[in-house]
Amino acid sequence: MPTPSPDKIAKIEVFRLPPRWVFVRVESEQGVVGWGEGTLEGHTEAIEGAYQDLAERFIGWDADQIQNIWQHAYRSRFYRGGPVLMSALSGLDIALWDIKGKRLGVPIWQLLGGKVRDRVKVYGWIGGDKPADVADGAAARRAQGFTAVKMNGTDGLDWIDSPALLQDTVARVKEVKATGVDVGIDFHGRVHKGMAKQLARMLEPLQPMFIEEPLLPTQPEEIADLSRMVSTPIALGERLFSRYDFRPYLERRAIDIAQPDVAHCGGISELHRLASYTETYDVSFAPHCPLGPIALAACMQVDLTAPNFFIQEMSLQMHYNEGADLLTYLVDPLVFEIKNGYVPALTGPGLGIEINEDLVREMAAKYADEKAWRNAVWTGPDGALQEW
């Protein structure tokens, strides 16, 4: 096949959209359009500023040189890494892979070496930030085709709190398990060490699918200690932004499931590297993705190629999705149809999805004067700040 002629980046546009997403549209000089997502929930304005910088640096570069652009975006400035810079890089990287796949007429997974599976196992959310009505939620998810769900383990907790609150968590998990679905329990970094040890032990007999962020990601040693206390798989990674951030967890044998977020970790390029890196440590791969359709499609491109892939988060009808949902901006929402717990492989060129650009522009204009999404701020009975 003849090598395509160079096609330079001509335009980079950023769209702030409900419910809390940031899409990036990259157009080449030959008119090929790629879509990316670099959402950083709660820090939208910072991401928009980072995209302005990326546009100034990379408009005019060859859109095919994804690795070179990634390396320059990451390494050519003195400060590197972190949630803001990596999330912006993620959106650009995803869009460039979309362009490359469209130019060559193949899905991105073909460019990553081909797929090792035909479908991707998925799970949906139940219960919201303050978990309630989880049994009904699990039953509804099962009716939608899911065989697995995730729920928050607790509401806000003090550093050491009443053991009765942990009993409530156990009761909710039992209710969900009774519906016949598997369940992952997200501690969300809300539970400090003294309580997390107790809760992990109490949940262990119920055999949850995993415990996610049992402690804050600042605590690799303590998470490793907790991992050795229980047989439940430990999952973590949404607040780690590169393979370098994952290194201490892998070297300490602290996690069983890696959950990098494609919209935060450096896009498809770094997500693919992380799949291989975590496989080296016999760690499963389950990308975090409570975000939009572009991020989900990007995750799936890597999921299809990764031998150690386990399960994929998807945000369909998630509690954060107010004003728009996972399928809102798609021309064909059936690309994410769930059958017996799985979504079929995306087969179209690039990301394999078609974004409704007219609707994106309409919604971005409609919400231009709206305040960007912010997470809740929780305080305890004494007025002190609690982890959200």
55 phi, psi to nearest 5 deg: -60, -45
The predicted pLDDT at position 128 comes to 77
- Which CA distances in Å does 241 have to 96, 128, 287, 288, 293? 19, 25, 12, 12, 20
Domain that holds residue 252: 110-349
Average pLDDT, the chain: 96
Question: Does 173 fall in a domain?
Answer: yes
The predicted pLDDT at position 388 comes to 86
The predicted pLDDT at position 209 comes to 98
Using 50, 70 and 90 to split pLDDT, how confident is the model at 131? confident
- Mean pLDDT on 83-96: 98
- pLDDT at 129 exceeding the cut of 80: no
∠ CA 126-128-129, nearest 5°, is 140
- pLDDT at 42 exceeding the cut of 80: yes
Using 50, 70 and 90 to split pLDDT, how confident is the model at 2? low
Question: Does 6 fall in a domain?
Answer: no
- Mean pLDDT on 215-240: 97
Question: Does 124 fall in a domain?
Answer: yes
Question: Does 22 fall in a domain?
Answer: no
Using 50, 70 and 90 to split pLDDT, how confident is the model at 276? very high
Both tokens of 153, joined, read 């383990």
- Mean pLDDT on 120-138: 89
Both tokens of 249, joined, read 């967890």
- pLDDT at 115 exceeding the cut of 90: yes
- Mean pLDDT on 157-185: 95
Helix (H, G, I), strand (E, B) or coil at 359: helix
- pLDDT at 110 exceeding the cut of 70: yes
Q: What is the dihedral of CA 94, 97, 101, 102, to 10 degrees?
A: 60
Active site residues per annotation: 188, 288
Cα(257)–Cα(308) distance, integer angstroms: 10
% of the chain beyond a pLDDT of 90: 95
- Mean pLDDT on 264-271: 98
The predicted pLDDT at position 5 comes to 77
* pLDDT tens-place string over residues 296-319: 999 999 999 999 999 999 999 999
- Mean pLDDT on 43-59: 97
The predicted pLDDT at position 132 comes to 73
Cα(278)–Cα(272) distance, integer angstroms: 10
Residue 2 or 198, more confident: 198
Both tokens of 339, joined, read 């059958």
The predicted pLDDT at position 84 comes to 97
* pLDDT tens-place string over residues 335-371: 999 999 999 999 999 999 999 999 999 999 999 989 9
Question: Does 160 fall in a domain?
Answer: yes
Using 50, 70 and 90 to split pLDDT, how confident is the model at 1? low
Domain at 210, CATH number = 3.20.20.120
Question: Does 68 fall in a domain?
Answer: no
Total number of domains constituting the chain: 1
The predicted pLDDT at position 3 comes to 61
* Beta strand spans in 164-309 (E): 182-186, 210-212, 234-236, 257-258, 284-285
Question: Does 4 fall in a domain?
Answer: no
Question: Does 234 fall in a domain?
Answer: yes
